[in-house]
Amino acid sequence: MATVEALVAGPITADTVIDQAAPSKRWGRLGLLVPAGLLLIIGFIVPLVIMLWYAFTDPSVGFGNFAWYLGDAVQQRILLRTFTTAVNVTVICLLLGYPYAYAMVAAGPKLRAVLTLLVLVPFWTSLMVRTFAWVILLQDHGPIQSLLATVGLGQIPLIRTNLGVVIGMSQVLLPFFVLPLYAVMTNIDRRLILASSSLGAGPITSFFRIWLPLSLPGVGAGSLIVFISSLGFYVTPALLGSPGNSLISQQIFTQVNGLLQWGRAGTMGVVLIVITLAILAILALVIGRSTSTIKGVR
């Protein structure tokens, strides 16, 4: 009977086998996403929900925590200082990281290996060790102050200042800018530069008309990583800065660990996330319009 039913159903073709195997393959692919999905839920969604819960319910249900935060001039200055510091760190990483990534691409194999090793070494060193090294370098009678005095610049306060925080954070986050930019630069076709030279363009024109626009995706990726990481940085600002120039991460720690104000800490986190998402949305809109304009010109 089974043979008769199979003959009545029609011939078995390759398309039939693929259609029958497609559901199992689809479920198999979805199964591979389960570990990543669980990690996302446990590591991001659940803490975010808890933070939102405390922001609206502790110590009482309502918008009292948001009214306190938005009406406190001190907290507004800290929030502005946090974003200003993040912008400064991003700009410094851009100014230092772009030439470095370009040198990695333009260098020979041996020099490129050395430059890559220098970028990777900080990942093998503890963040605490690197930050304490900056404490020694930036202290009032440290090596940097001695160097400044030698060249005639005098005593410039570095430790326990926002300038010292920016210097330390820039050094820590610089590899996170260089590596994405280097990955993009390695995929740029060098023949485009040779073609522009053959058409009469000089090195500077070729750089600004060809290389720089093609490397902008790497600049954007590295800048976003550095900027977002700077907003939530805690260790380096806590060790190199002072309570007078604290950032929002230090205020959140104080509210939770010192004052046990979980609702206010949650409110700070919510405000920081909302503003960050708004900035990312604006940047995505600007980049999208710029891409559309370039395509229209082409």
- Cis peptide bond prior to 203, omega within 30° of 0: no
| Predicted pLDDT at 297 | 41
Alpha carbons 145 and 158: distance in angstroms, whole number: 8
> Is 29 in the same domain as 106?
no
Query: What tokens appear for 221 in the block?
Result: 């990726």
In a domain, 134, yes or no: yes
* DSSP conformation letters of 19-50: HHHHHHHHHHHHHHHHHHHHHHIIIIIHHHHH
| Predicted pLDDT at 96 | 94
> Is 168 in the same domain as 219?
yes
> Is 105 in the same domain as 197?
yes
> Is 257 in the same domain as 164?
yes
> Is 26 in the same domain as 141?
no
- Tell me what the mean pLDDT of segment 36-59 comes to: 86
- Domain span at 67: 63-297
> Is 111 in the same domain as 223?
yes
How many of the other CB atoms lie within 10 Å of CB of 219? 19
| pLDDT tens string 237-289 | 988 888 888 888 888 888 888 888 888 888 888 888 888 888 888 877 776 66
Average pLDDT of every residue of the chain: 83
Alpha carbons 126 and 187: distance in angstroms, whole number: 32
Domain boundary among 23, 56, 89: 56
Which of 38-52, 137-151, 171-185, 275-289 shows the lowest per-residue confidence on average (mean pLDDT)? 275-289
> Is 131 in the same domain as 157?
yes
> Is 110 in the same domain as 210?
yes
- Tell me what the mean pLDDT of segment 225-247 comes to: 88
- Please give the helix or strand (H or E) that residue 145 lies within, else none: helix 143-150
| pLDDT tens string 122-169 | 888 888 888 888 998 888 888 888 888 888 777 888 888 889 899 999
Contact 286, 220 (CB under 8 A): no
> Is 37 in the same domain as 133?
no
In a domain, 8, yes or no: no
Task: Band the pLDDT of 2: cuts 50, 70, 90.
Answer: very low
What are the Cα distances from residue 257, in Å, to 44, 61, 146?
21, 22, 38
In a domain, 253, yes or no: yes
> Is 49 in the same domain as 123?
no
> Is 29 in the same domain as 132?
no
How many of the other CB atoms lie within 10 Å of CB of 177? 31
- Please give the helix or strand (H or E) that residue 80 lies within, else none: helix 73-106
In a domain, 194, yes or no: yes
How many of the other CB atoms lie within 10 Å of CB of 295? 8
Does residue 109 sit in helix, strand or coil?
A: helix
- Please give the helix or strand (H or E) that residue 85 lies within, else none: helix 73-106
Query: What is the rounded (10 degree) CA torsion for 7, 11, 16, 20?
Result: 20
> Is 201 in the same domain as 145?
yes
In a domain, 6, yes or no: no
- Please count the structural domains in the chain: 2
What are the Cα distances from residue 28, in Å, to 39, 103, 221, 236?
18, 44, 32, 44
